[in-house]
A and B are shown apart, each in its own frame.
Chain A
Amino acid sequence: MRRLSLWLGAALVALVVLMALVSLVWTPYDPTLVVPGQRLQNPSAAHWLGTDAMGIDVFSRLLIGAQTTIVVGVVSVSIAAVLGVPLGMLSGQAGGWVDEVVMRVTDIAYAFPALLLAILLAARFGASPVTAMIAIGLATIPSFARVTRAGTTQVMSSEFVLAARASGTRWPGVSMRHVLPNIAPLIGVQASVTFALAILAEAALSYLGLSTAAIVPTWGKMLRDAQSVMFSAPLQALWPGLAIAMAVLGFNLLGDGLRDLLDPRLREVT
């Protein structure tokens, strides 16, 4: 059952990545090609998942949508990790007032919800995937910093770090050679869970019309379009919703599976 999470999660994530990669070189039809004569067709041999209200092939849109999902996830997780991990390591290694200040600032920032920040930025700078990614990334820095700090203090108290410090290794050496490699799996778990959160947040923003303004196909945008025709074509809402749920489930399960592989002492801090 435990390994089930890991493998099922990895398989679902692989499927989403595969969809994105395939869409780079091939989609059955142009995912932005509006064909007025082919509106809302049922699934058929020509259109595997039918066509939407604009006559666009749904399967092609679904494939391209995976790209947006992956890009948004990777960029927001990177922003959060690149800023949050060093902060957490600094806090965990320096201790004292540095630790206190960093953690209090994280406490303050932690409470500000990602979606609210995204809406705020969209109001000011206009709706785009970039503002969405930045908002999700910035809002999840605190959780990366917290997890990293907890892992770092755990590693810092271990004997090999004490030995390294006693033999004169300075903090950059300790950080790179001992702390980072040991907390890397922990950061992997956090990245996976944050990825799932980013997918959900981006989907909600696209659905609200706050991520992609134009015709760029995203799963959230597809759901928004599907809602306006849900009385005549309820199936339209099925596919993008399934795709989002699959991707989120995949990253959550992967995170859970990775967590179970962690060193028990590190598992406590997640």
Chain B
Amino acid sequence: MRILAFLGRRLGIFALSLLGASLLVFAVCAALPGEVAAIILGEGATPDQIAKLTAQLGLDRPWPVRYAEWVGGMLRGDFGTSYFTGQNVLQLMAPRIAVTLWLVFFALVLSVLVAVPVGMLAAMKRRSWIGFVASAAAQLGMAIPAFWAAIALVLVFAVWLHQLPANGYVPLTTDPASWAAHLVLPVISLAIVQASVLVRYVRSAFIEVLSEDYYRTARAVGWRPFPALLRHGLRNAALSLVTVIGLQLASVLVGAIVIESVFALPGLGSQLLDAVSQRDLSIVQGVVMFLAAAVLLINFLVDLSYAWIDPRLRTGDER
């Protein structure tokens, strides 16, 4: 029963977070009805014209009605339409979701693949210069803005060495090799920062493991340090790592907005920024809500994974 209570509680927080986020997005983008009409008509529109267009768009109705309509639409997969072009926001987003997903997925995988071994090394060798170098590198990596790393990578690999494309995107189905080549630099620039943050967490999680009895026992019966840490430490450290990786996933998703802009990748982030510069609030509203919902869903899934990783939560023992 303990696990059901845990899951129920988490589901409740997830639902409330979605409600909170949607209210915030709605309040910022859509609460003042006259605004949209004023933006569409541009400067020089008379109050009469604004009022007329507002009524035409159905924006003169009370906000709870409009909010309910918006949320109801999203639940049916309707994220609204652009006031300027009349296009369906979900249809605008659909081809772009894949671009962002690939970027985020590979960046996360790469950062985990780099950070776990480096962090373990930093933990085991924490009293030697190797550990110092690993920690210092992580500090430096955290301080570097991802878009600066991106510019530097483009300079070296695209401008000087001519090995990789400087920007743009080719769909996987069109040309897999070119697709991969276009993703290499964005993925690396996004992963540098994420891996650095992760190294610090992996390091402290494994330092904790090193002082545990089970690790000392494993060493005493003849396990070498690295295999002992892999065999016995990884699962125990996994709980805190999953939390961090989940939080990381959210920040990778947000970081992708910036990276997409550097590399002119046609993803959700660049769509959002285009919409911001055109002040197309209906697209902004849809995309931000979509991204926020994705972040909240990730956090919820992280919570669920606790139940799977931590057997104490399943059997009902005290944590």
Q: A residues near B, CB below 8 A?
A: 1, 104, 107-109, 111-113, 115-116, 119-124, 127, 196, 200, 203-204, 207-210, 220, 223, 226-227, 230-231, 234, 237, 241, 244-246, 248-249, 252-253
A200 surroundings in chain B (CB, below 8 A): 145
A245 touches B292 (CB 8 A): no
Q: Within 8 Å of chain A (Cβ to Cβ): is B21?
A: yes
A119 touches B272 (CB 8 A): yes
A116 touches B254 (CB 8 A): yes
B140 touches A230 (CB 8 A): no
13 contacts between A and B (CB under 8 A): A104-B13, A112-B24, A113-B295, A116-B257, A116-B292, A122-B276, A124-B281, A223-B147, A226-B151, A230-B151, A241-B148, A248-B143, A249-B142
Give A263 to B288 CA distance when docked, in angstroms: 41
Give A246 to B143 CA distance when docked, in angstroms: 7
A252 touches B258 (CB 8 A): no
Task: Identify A112's interface contact among B16, B21, B143, CB under 8 A.
Answer: B21
List CB contacts (< 8 Å) of B251-274 with chain A. Answer: 251, 253-254, 257-258, 261-262, 272-273
B288 touches A120 (CB 8 A): yes
List CB contacts (< 8 Å) of B277-308 with chain A. Answer: 277, 279, 281, 284, 288, 291-292, 295-296, 299
B148 touches A223 (CB 8 A): yes
Give A122 to B24 CA distance when docked, in angstroms: 14
What's the minimum C-beta distance from A128 to chain B, rounded to whole angstroms? 13
Task: Identify B17's interface contact among A107, A121, A127, A244, CB under 8 A.
Answer: A107
Give A34 to B128 CA distance when docked, in angstroms: 52
Q: Within 8 Å of chain A (Cβ to Cβ): is B154?
A: yes
Output the nearest chain B residue to A223 by Cβ-Cβ distance. Answer: B148
B28 surroundings in chain A (CB, below 8 A): 120-121, 123-124
Give A249 to B299 CA distance when docked, in angstroms: 28
A207 touches B147 (CB 8 A): yes
What's the minimum C-beta distance from A234 to chain B, rounded to whole angstroms? 5
A223 surroundings in chain B (CB, below 8 A): 145, 147-148, 151
B288 touches A249 (CB 8 A): no
Most central of B17, B25, B275 by chain A CB within 10 Å = B17
B17 touches A111 (CB 8 A): yes
Given contacts A113-B250, A119-B272, A123-B281, contact A108 B258 (CB under 8 A): no
Q: Within 8 Å of chain A (Cβ to Cβ): is B139?
A: yes
A127 surroundings in chain B (CB, below 8 A): 276
What's the minimum C-beta distance from A50 to chain B, rounded to whole angstroms? 16
Given contacts A122-B276, A223-B147, contact A115 B139 (CB under 8 A): no
What's the minimum C-beta distance from B205 to chain A, rounded to whole angstroms? 15
Give A111 to B18 CA distance when docked, in angstroms: 10
Task: Identify A119's interface contact among B132, B142, B148, B288, CB under 8 A.
Answer: B288
Give A119 to B270 CA distance when docked, in angstroms: 12
List CB contacts (< 8 Å) of B1-27 with chain A. Answer: 13, 16-17, 20-21, 24-25
A124 touches B143 (CB 8 A): no
A111 touches B296 (CB 8 A): yes
Task: Identify B139's interface contact among A120, A204, A253, CB under 8 A.
Answer: A253
Given contacts A119-B272, A119-B273, contact A249 B292 (CB under 8 A): no
Task: Identify A1's interface contact among B132, B159, B253, CB under 8 A.
Answer: B132
Task: Identify A252's interface contact among B143, B146, B292, CB under 8 A.
Answer: B143
Give A237 to B273 CA distance when docked, in angstroms: 22
Contact with A along B155-188 (1 / 0, CB 8 A): 1000100000000000000000000000000000
B228 surroundings in chain A (CB, below 8 A): none
Output the nearest chain A residue to B131 by Cβ-Cβ distance. Answer: A1
What's the minimum C-beta distance from A264 to chain B, rounded to whole angstroms? 15
Give A111 to B14 CA distance when docked, in angstroms: 10
B152 surroundings in chain A (CB, below 8 A): 237, 241
Q: Within 8 Å of chain A (Cβ to Cβ): is B40?
A: no
A249 surroundings in chain B (CB, below 8 A): 139-140, 142-143
Output the nearest chain A residue to B135 by Cβ-Cβ distance. Answer: A1
| 13 further interface pairs, Cβ-Cβ under 8 Å (given A208-B273, A230-B151, A230-B154) | A107-B17, A112-B20, A113-B292, A120-B28, A120-B288, A123-B275, A204-B145, A204-B146, A207-B258, A210-B276, A237-B151, A237-B155, A241-B145
Task: Identify B145's interface contact among A113, A227, A245, A253, CB under 8 A.
Answer: A245
What's the minimum C-beta distance from A251 to chain B, rounded to whole angstroms? 9
Q: Within 8 Å of chain A (Cβ to Cβ): is B144?
A: yes
Q: Within 8 Å of chain A (Cβ to Cβ): is B29?
A: yes
When A and B form their complex, which 5 residue pairs have the shortest distance between CB atoms, in order from nearest?
A249-B143, A241-B148, A248-B143, A123-B284, A123-B276
Give A108 to B296 CA distance when docked, in angstroms: 9
A245 touches B143 (CB 8 A): yes
Give A20 to B143 CA distance when docked, in angstroms: 19
B140 touches A245 (CB 8 A): yes
Give A238 to B17 CA distance when docked, in angstroms: 41
A121 surroundings in chain B (CB, below 8 A): 28
